[in-house]
Structure 1
Amino acid sequence: MGKLNFDEARHLAARTGIGAEWETIQRFQNLTRQQAIEFLLNNRNMRTPPPPGMSPWPKMVSLRGNMRRRKMIKRISRVEGKSLQDWWVKHLTETPSPFLERMTLFWHNHFPSSIKKTTQPSMLYQQNLMLRKHAFGNFGQMLHNIAKDPAMLLYLDGYENIKEEPNENFARELLELFTIGIGHYSENDMREAARAFTGWSIDDRNGRFINNAADHDTGVKTFLGKRGNFKGDDIVNILLQHPRTAETIAEKMWKEFINISRPDARFTRQWAQTFRASNYDIATLLRAVLTSEPFWDRRNRGGLIKSPIELTIGTLRTLPYSLGRGRMDLAHNLSIMGQAVFEHPSVKGWEGGTDWISTQSILRRNSMMTNLARGNLNEKKNRGGIAQKMPDIPPQVLREWLLAIEPLQAMPTQPGKQRLARAFVLDPAYQVT
């Protein structure tokens, strides 16, 4: 197979990055599909900016004594949570490994947590590092880690799960959302799983996972047709043996990389089989998805609606627009468009797809693009404008670069790259990829 043409390189860059960056497209044009995909999977720069100052768990525990101090916890978490959101948004804008960050965001949405519920930004930061570490790694290990993750133990009340009063929240979401899905387990399976996780909690001395043996239900459990004195890790292992777990992830990959339609089982089942055969190696699954027929099928171009992060940060990474000093709080604007990092609307995460588009949200999305693209469009007078920083390409190539499908509005008749780029960015076709 020969090297990627411009259209193919643009498609791969847009679907696996955060924006269709010109330099990435040019790099891919010198590679075959396989070479480009291997480059993506091996570009794993794990470095992140220094984290903002955050209160450690022991300090927050010391404030739980009375109502006044509990209100202080909420105030601290709100301020520190905003700093943490700004930290990740900045990294999303600047990361040299956008595919790695995109997959970290994917797992962040598969295993959602919330500043408001946990009130522990420092733990959410640690969770974020863990998800990034395993983003291309082993799903089984990540699933074991998330079950013991302090932020998740807080978010889904796992730290309250004791043998005298089993809390079923984590077990329910583990089955329904994280692995096999509704229709593949019974209510009794969920209750038995909750019993297996009893005693998993957080050490007040350091904020780390602790297994309190005195709070664990040591009785025999029956789960998905198996019977034994199961502990939490046993439940996770049984779920990893179930074919539906791999299929759940494969179906999410369809909606992440192919289109927003119902996943085609002919492909997702094949991806899932490959995933399970690799012992849940995520890079192997991604390789199967990115080399598949539907990924490269031109009929799927424009089949995904850009998330607020893809739309906003993707634009900043693609074009030389600038937020300007004091001009825009990017994390806040992502929040009002419906994608506040570390602040999912529910345990289901962001639904994505058509949920990104509503009467209210489309106005906010258009307003954001208008703000980013504003400026003096007279390139002769505005010699410091973005036109001087853009590649020297003809209008048709500019269109092919910025839009996955043909524009839906009439293009400007006056000449100028900056004017034309602005028209493309404000066109409804720019909302899809």
Structure 2
Amino acid sequence: MATSPVARVALRAPSYQVNPYRGTAIPTRAELHLMNRLGVGYSRATFLQLRRAGGAEAWLRQQMRPGTVAESDKAKALADWFPDLRDSPARKWEKHISKTRPAWEHARIVGNHTMMRRMYSNRVLLETMVDFWSNHLHVKVNADLAWVQRTGYDAVIRKHALGRFDDMLVAATLHPAMLLFLDNWRSVKDAPNENHGRELLELHTVGRTSGYTEEMVKDSAKILSGYTVDVYASWNGYYDSRKHTTGPVQVLGFSAANGSADGSALARDYLHYLAHHPATARTIARKLAVRFVSDAPSDALVDELAGVFRRSGTDIKKTLAALVAHREFKASRGRKVRTPIDDMVHTVRVLGVSAQKPSGREGSFADAISWLHQGDLLYSWPRPDGPPDLNASWASASRMLGSFRMHWHLAGGYWPDVDVTYRRTTSWLPQRRIRFDQYVDHLCRMIHGKGSTSLLLKAAVQAVDVRPGEIVTKDHAVATWRFNRLVCVLLDSPEHMTR
């Protein structure tokens, strides 16, 4: 098992002075921070895209209009790589029953497709926000019954990820995947299932501190009752007035007589009301701040973002723009730990790993990435609250060791080794002959987007037993068979594993 060379740096070893390799350009601190937080991480391709756009602000404006960003050929081809995703929900269920494609395998395919989009898309802000909202409006990818509609649910999140929260909340809440996951389809007249109505308030909108009561939870369930799913048949969502519970309702200032059997419009009005509620604004503002700024954002930042969110009519782009402009965002570099999946996506991009369409052979890269990051399946968090976004959740010893193994596999091109091309180790040399300390600085610029530090240089010297002034050529060990050990010094470091 590979362990981190950085972790083995002896404190009594001599310090080395960084010898910069200025031939490899690097972004400004502001540009690097923006790519790391709002994108899927720094890479040479994203850096080039940013500079072509005209700098950080122009790049961000462009990314907020993903339709204007030319998509990569590989990202456009991904739909053909995973043809099972095009099956109707009914067909997916048939394959599950016949064991041709059981539910857990379909869940893995959904995750693989999503992660591949993040690895190869040029629309990195969109992919980041799809991930953010998929965690906030969480539907477990392999949940009983709900999994058959998970592909369609992804399309809804993607459509609204950079639009308006009120539109997304309505579409996601009433989508058959959510109706199945939170049991609203089980509601019957005069006995509505409370699960969906409760989680809508607690997790998706106003939050626990907003002051709602148990009676309000029951009224929330009454309002949503009637929206159901044609289970074990077409699996389509529809409204059934025979299942709707009538009677007066009141939730945090929203009230209605609710006397009609058809309460479909009432539910939509209710969802719009919750989306614009001040408590919802604070819920979304705090979640955005925790994801993109720090684990403990200030009340001032949350208040400012909540104000923009409400004044803009729940406009996600305007809220993000306010977040990026805030001084707290600018001062938060390096304060967030990458999740294992974020780390894997980032590592694939910086190493230039090129996947090919799955051939059906065992170990195909596009199929194996579900296991490569050493964690759970994407979007398989068992509870409806979605996975945590706090550093302590992703900084355990087991997580570190899992990511170190993943780095080792990718840096060495060891696994997955089918339907994938890894960059030749000698192609990383910026010139035919280079001092080792300059080579380390060049690699840091390529992988971290910034120059080396004396600590990283010391770790590299010890890891591969090379003197700082030693000359490296294409035949040198650190450019060939020991390249993976050298690069893992950089990949296993906080400079790579934080953002």
Partners of 1:18 and 1:313 within 8 A in 2: yes
- The answer to whether the aligner puts 1:240 opposite 2:306 as a matched pair is no
The offset of 1:96, in angstroms, is: 2.1
- The answer to whether the aligner puts 1:221 opposite 2:249 as a matched pair is yes
* Secondary structure in structure 1 of the residue aligned to 2:209: coil
Q: Distance in 2 between matches of 1:118 and 1:295?
A: 39
- The answer to whether the aligner puts 1:272 opposite 2:306 as a matched pair is yes
- The answer to whether the aligner puts 1:49 opposite 2:67 as a matched pair is no
- The answer to whether the aligner puts 1:92 opposite 2:118 as a matched pair is yes
Matches within 5 A, 1:3-402: 6-29=28-51, 31-44=54-67, 49-50=79-80, 51-53=82-84, 56-58=88-90, 76-184=102-210, 185-203=212-230, 206-230=234-258, 231-260=266-295, 262-297=296-331, 300-321=332-353, 326=363, 329-334=368-373, 336-338=374-376, 340-353=377-390, 354-374=392-412, 385-388=424-427, 395-396=440-441, 398-400=443-445, 402=447
State the AA in 2 paired with 1:151.
A
TM-score (norm 2): 0.75
State the AA in 1 paired with 2:237.
F
Partners of 1:408 and 1:429 within 8 A in 2: no
State the AA in 2 paired with 1:193.
S
* Secondary structure in structure 1 of the residue aligned to 2:41: coil
Corresponding position of 2:13: none
Q: Distance in 1 between matches of 2:242 and 2:291?
A: 43
The offset of 1:88, in angstroms, is: 2.1
Q: Distance in 1 between matches of 2:429 and 2:369?
A: 23
The CA deviation string for residues 47-71 of structure 1, in whole angstroms up to 9 with x for no partner, is 562453255344577x7xxxxx996
Q: Which has the larger radius of gyration?
A: 2
Give aligned-pair identity as a percent. Answer: 24
Q: Which moved more, 1:238-247 or 1:123-132?
A: 238-247
State the AA in 2 paired with 1:187.
E
State the AA in 2 paired with 1:294.
E
Partners of 1:171 and 1:194 within 8 A in 2: yes
| Alpha-carbon spacing, 1:189–1:343, altered in 2? closer, same or farther (3 Å) | same
5+ residue gaps, structure 2, are 1-25, 259-265, 415-421, 432-437, 467-471, 473-477
Q: Distance in 1 between matches of 2:320 and 2:355?
A: 33
| Alpha-carbon spacing, 1:276–1:73, altered in 2? closer, same or farther (3 Å) | farther
Q: Distance in 2 between matches of 1:155 and 1:74?
A: 23
| Alpha-carbon spacing, 1:26–1:71, altered in 2? closer, same or farther (3 Å) | closer
State the AA in 2 paired with 1:412.
A
Partners of 2:142 and 2:380 within 8 A in 1: yes
Q: How many pairs align?
A: 413
State the AA in 1 paired with 2:459.
M
Partners of 1:181 and 1:248 within 8 A in 2: yes
Q: Which has the higher contact order (CA 8 A, sep 6+)?
A: 2
State the AA in 2 paired with 1:385.
R
TM-score (norm 1): 0.85
Q: Distance in 1 between matches of 2:228 and 2:32?
A: 46
Q: Distance in 2 between matches of 1:408 and 1:163?
A: 67
The offset of 1:404, in angstroms, is: 7.9
Q: Distance in 2 between matches of 1:391 and 1:284?
A: 41
* Secondary structure in structure 1 of the residue aligned to 2:84: coil
State the AA in 2 paired with 1:343.
S
5+ residue gaps, structure 1, are 64-68, 377-382
Q: Which moved more, 1:177-186 or 1:32-41?
A: 32-41
Q: Which moved more, 1:419-428 or 1:407-416?
A: 407-416
Q: Distance in 2 between matches of 1:426 and 1:342?
A: 25
Partners of 2:43 and 2:449 within 8 A in 1: no
Partners of 2:276 and 2:314 within 8 A in 1: no
Partners of 1:11 and 1:404 within 8 A in 2: no
| Alpha-carbon spacing, 1:343–1:29, altered in 2? closer, same or farther (3 Å) | same
Partners of 1:73 and 1:119 within 8 A in 2: no
Partners of 2:27 and 2:449 within 8 A in 1: no
| Alpha-carbon spacing, 1:79–1:226, altered in 2? closer, same or farther (3 Å) | closer
| Alpha-carbon spacing, 1:73–1:140, altered in 2? closer, same or farther (3 Å) | farther
| Alpha-carbon spacing, 1:391–1:112, altered in 2? closer, same or farther (3 Å) | farther
* Secondary structure in structure 2 of the residue aligned to 1:412: helix
The offset of 1:401, in angstroms, is: 5.2
Q: Distance in 2 between matches of 1:347 and 1:289?
A: 26
* Secondary structure in structure 1 of the residue aligned to 2:61: helix
* Secondary structure in structure 1 of the residue aligned to 2:29: helix
Partners of 2:182 and 2:195 within 8 A in 1: yes
* Secondary structure in structure 2 of the residue aligned to 1:116: coil
| Alpha-carbon spacing, 1:26–1:92, altered in 2? closer, same or farther (3 Å) | closer
The CA deviation string for residues 336-377 of structure 1, in whole angstroms up to 9 with x for no partner, is 424x2242231111103221222222211111111111269x
Q: Which moved more, 1:165-174 or 1:112-121?
A: 112-121
Q: Which moved more, 1:159-168 or 1:412-421?
A: 412-421
Partners of 1:408 and 1:427 within 8 A in 2: no
| Alpha-carbon spacing, 1:364–1:115, altered in 2? closer, same or farther (3 Å) | same
Q: Distance in 1 between matches of 2:303 and 2:454?
A: 35
